[in-house]
Amino acid sequence: MDIVKSMLKLLVNLWAALWCGILVLAGPACAQPVEAQRPPFKILHVMSYHSPWRWTDGQWHGFKEALRGVAIETRVFEMDTKHFSTPAQMEARGREARALIEQWQPNLIYTSDDDAQEHVARHYVNSRIPIVFSGVNKDPAAYGFTGSRNVTGVLEQEHFVESVRLLHAMYPGARRLAVVFDDAPMWAPVQQRMKQSLAQLPGVEFVAWDVIRSFEQYQAQVRAYHGIADAIALIGIFSFKDASGRNVPYQEVLRWTAENSRLPDLGFWIDRVHYGTLAAVTVSEREQGLAAGRLARAILVDGVAPSQLPMRATTKGLPAISLARARALGVQPRSSLLLTAEVVEQFEWAK
C-alpha cells in the first residue's frame, strides 16, 4: 500500500513539473496568474481640455485600448483650459495637477494637447517619472522634450492639403481661401506647416491669414469674406470673447457660422463637422491615443526607456463631411465621396 501511495505521489509531482514546463514554453499568455500578483501601474492622465468631448475622450479611450490586458490604476485631471483660459487660470490648473502628481506618485504621466505640456509636463523633464504625450502641435523642443531621458509621445499634425482637396471635390470653385485663427500660441506652428505645404495646392489663392480675438470681430470678418473669398478654413476658434468678456464656446461659433455664412468651410477635427463645418480630413483622436498607449506599454511592460522611443506624428487621416451643411449650401457631394467619408447627417444642435 505504501508503495502504491509513493508511486501516486511521484506521478503527481511529475505531472506538476511537466505542467510548469508547458507554462514556461507557452510564454506570457500563461503567465498571467503570476503577473496579476504585481500591483497595477498607476497612470495619471492630465488632459488640457475637458470631458465629455470627442477629441479628449477619444485619445483617452485609444490610450487605454493599447494597454488592454495590463493591470493599471488610472486617474484623470481635466485642466479645462477652454474655460480656464487666461494665463493665470491655466497656471493655477497646472499647479493643481502637479500637486496631484506629488501626492499620488504615478508610475507614468499621460499628457494630452499643448496646455498640459506647458503647465505640467515640462516641469518633470528628466525626472524619474516617464511621460507620454499626444495631441501636441508645437515642436517638442519648446517644452524641453527633445533629448530628454523620460519623455516621448505623439505629435498632432493636421491634414491641411487633404482637407482643401476634399473641399474642392465638393465645391470646385472654392479657389480663394481665407484662414482664421484665434490668438492662442498653439496655432503658430500650425500656420507655419500650412504655409509650407502651399506648393501642393496650385491654383489656390490664400486671401487672408487672420488672427481674431473677439466674437464680434469674427462675425464682421466672416461677412467681409463674402466679397473676397470662396471658402474659409476655420482653424483657431476657441478664444473669442463676447462683449461681456465671456469666452464663446466653439460650438456657438460654428452654429453662428452655419446659420450666417454662405461660404463653404473646412477644418481638421471631426467635432467641427458635427457642429456645421462642411469638410475635414480629420486627425484621428483614437489613433493619437492608441499610439501614445503603445509607447506607454513599451515603457511599463517591456522596460524600454522613453528616450529610445521616437516622437512621431500619426499619419492616418479620416475624411468627414457634414451633409446637413452641404444641403444648406446647395451642394450635393458625389456618392463616391460619401461612401469613403464619415457622413454627419444632422447638425448637433438639431438632434
pLDDT digits (tens, 9 = 90+) for 165-187: 999 999 998 999 999 999 998 89
- CATH 3.40.50.2300 residue spans of the chain: 35-157+285-313, 160-284+317-350
- In this prediction, residue 28 carries a pLDDT of 43
Does 3.40.50.2300 match the CATH number of domain 35-157+285-313?
yes
Q: Tell which wins on pLDDT, 79 or 315.
A: 79
Q: How confident is the model at residue 20 (pLDDT cuts 50, 70, 90)?
A: very low
Pick the CATH number of 160-284+317-350 from 3.30.930.10, 3.40.47.10, 3.40.50.2300, 3.30.70.920: 3.40.50.2300
- Name the average pLDDT for the chain: 90
- In this prediction, residue 23 carries a pLDDT of 39
Mean predicted confidence (pLDDT) in 212-229: 97
Q: Is residue 18 scored above 60 in pLDDT? A: no
Mean predicted confidence (pLDDT) in 308-331: 94
Strands 279-283 vs 265-267: parallel, antiparallel or unpaired = parallel
CB neighbour class for 70 (10 Å; exposed up to 12, middle 13-18, buried from 19): middle
Phi, psi of 342 (to 5 degrees): -80, 120
- In this prediction, residue 186 carries a pLDDT of 86
- In this prediction, residue 81 carries a pLDDT of 93
Mean predicted confidence (pLDDT) in 154-165: 94
Mean predicted confidence (pLDDT) in 219-238: 96
Mean predicted confidence (pLDDT) in 109-119: 97
- In this prediction, residue 193 carries a pLDDT of 93
Phi, psi of 107 (to 5 degrees): -80, -20
- In this prediction, residue 295 carries a pLDDT of 98
- In this prediction, residue 237 carries a pLDDT of 96
CA 302 to chain CA mean position, Å: 25
Task: Tell me the β-bridge partners of 110.
Answer: 45, 132
- As a whole number of angstroms, the distance between CA 95 and CA 101 comes to 10
Mean predicted confidence (pLDDT) in 153-162: 94
pLDDT digits (tens, 9 = 90+) for 23-61: 344 444 444 444 457 899 999 999 999 999 889 999 999
- As a whole number of angstroms, the distance between CA 108 and CA 130 comes to 5
Phi, psi of 212 (to 5 degrees): -120, 140
- In this prediction, residue 10 carries a pLDDT of 46
Q: How confident is the model at residue 1 (pLDDT cuts 50, 70, 90)?
A: very low
CB neighbour class for 283 (10 Å; exposed up to 12, middle 13-18, buried from 19): buried
Lowest mean pLDDT among 31-45, 83-97, 144-158: 31-45
Residue whose C-alpha cell is 506647458: 118
Mean predicted confidence (pLDDT) in 224-231: 96
Strands 312-313 vs 265-267: parallel, antiparallel or unpaired = unpaired
pLDDT digits (tens, 9 = 90+) for 273-289: 999 999 999 988 999 99
CA atoms within 13 A on the CB side of 58: 15
Mean predicted confidence (pLDDT) in 115-137: 97
- In this prediction, residue 317 carries a pLDDT of 87
Phi, psi of 159 (to 5 degrees): -100, 70
